[in-house]
Amino acid sequence: MSKWFATICTVFLCLVAGAGASLADTYEAIKKRGKIVVGVKADYRPWGYRDPSGELVGLEIDMAKDLADTLAVDLELVPVVGSNRMEFLNQEKIDIIIATMGDNMKRRKVVTMIEPNYYAGGTNIIASKAAGFENWTDLKNQKICGIQGAYYNRRVLQLYKIDLVAFKGVPEAVNALQQGSCVGFVYDNTWIEKTLAEGGEWEAYEMPFETEDPSVWAIGVRHEDADSPFGLMVKGKVADWHRTGWLLEHEQKWGIKRSPFLVEMNEALKTRAK
């Protein structure tokens, strides 16, 4: 009995000690491991999605690659969704989040948002032209598809009293929209613009409203990395991407509409560097 107890205690102590050790410097840990684990989206074209061969590609994947190159380590991509990415980070399943994450005060309590922000998007809906929506208030009590865990859900629920039907990922929500289970899909305007530009089966759809609630996107790291070498390195990298026009270049590469935010950031940081 006492032997058992001792064993259990030892195991428990090891677990506690192990957890403590891994809380040390993320930079050291990544170097030692020889690889950085990045949480990315797998269903958000063109930021992070799977190409026909199943490979994860997109603008944010390029960012992750560039980060890994800078650190001279290998890159491991872990697909995350809105409702689990911050938990993954804090459970140390991933080292960093680059997954179209909107930056807000509530989230800042849970993870550290890297400044400068790397993008800005807003909320809009995609709906069939036949639905004839003109105003956000037209959505009252209408079934609108959405994504579980999106930051704007609460706002549109409270403001416009929509009947939100939230799915786990984009493919399910898009399918539900196309089969008519909901009359619109509330999502980020950048995705909607990109999707509508594809034409084809999307000809009959539109983005009927003014984009609302602009929100900046940020890379997320754990709180203890706020001022650690790793955190500072990522901050420098993002500033660099803005200053050198890397983000503008890649925005174009992935066919995203020129974002005023990126142009503004590029101007501001370029002049400051002089």
Partner 1 sequence: MEAIWSWFEWLYEAHGVNLSIFYDSLDRDRFFFGLLTTIRLSLICIVASVVIGVVGAWLQTSRFKWTSRLVQGYIQFFRNTPPLVQLYFFFFAIGGVLPKVPDASGHMVPPIGNFTWAAISLSFFAGAFNVEIFRAGIEAVPKSTSEAAEALGYTRLQSYIYIILPLAFRVCLPSLNNNLVNLVKTTTLAYVIAVPELLYVSSQIWSDQFNVREMMNVLLFTYVGLVAVLVFMMHRWEKTLKIPGYGR
Which residues form the interface with partner 1 (CB under 8 A)?
82-83, 86-87, 106-107, 109-110, 130-131, 142-143, 145, 148-150, 153-154, 157-158, 164-168, 172, 175-176, 179-181, 183
- Output the CA–CA distances (angstroms, integers) from residue 222 to 24, 80, 89, 172, 217, in the order listed: 12, 16, 7, 30, 16
In the complex with partner 1, the residue whose CB is nearer, 109 or 272, is 109
Cα separation, 262 vs 252, whole angstroms: 11
Through-space distance between the first and last CA atoms of the chain, rounded to whole angstroms: 72
153 touches 187 (CB < 8 A): no
Beta bridge partners of 36: 75
In the complex with partner 1, the residue whose CB is nearer, 106 or 274, is 106
Structure tokens at 161: 């009293």
In the complex with partner 1, the residue whose CB is nearer, 164 or 192, is 164
In the complex with partner 1, the residue whose CB is nearer, 142 or 266, is 142
Supply the minimum distance, in Å, between the C-beta of residue 123 and partner 1. 15
Supply the minimum distance, in Å, between the C-beta of residue 203 and partner 1. 17
Supply the minimum distance, in Å, between the C-beta of residue 175 and partner 1. 6
In the complex with partner 1, the residue whose CB is nearer, 163 or 264, is 163
Supply the minimum distance, in Å, between the C-beta of residue 2 and partner 1. 33
Residue 188, sorted as left (phi over 0), alpha (psi -120 to 50) or beta, turns out to be: beta
Tell me which residue of 118, 93, 106, 123 sits closest to 187, measured CA to CA.
Answer: 123
In the complex with partner 1, the residue whose CB is nearer, 2 or 179, is 179
User: What are the φ and ψ backbone dihedral angles of 40, each rounded to 5 degrees?
Assistant: -130, 165
In the complex with partner 1, the residue whose CB is nearer, 149 or 245, is 149
Supply the minimum distance, in Å, between the C-beta of residue 205 and partner 1. 14
Supply the minimum distance, in Å, between the C-beta of residue 83 and partner 1. 5
Supply the minimum distance, in Å, between the C-beta of residue 154 and partner 1. 5
DSSP annotation string for 184-251: EEEEEHHHHHHHHHT-GGGTTEE--S--EEEEEE--EE-GGGSSSHHHHHHHHHHHHHHHTTHHHHHH
Residues in contact with 127: Cβ distance below 8 Å, sequence separation at least 6, in sequence order: 133, 183, 184, 185, 205, 206, 208
Cα separation, 218 vs 203, whole angstroms: 32
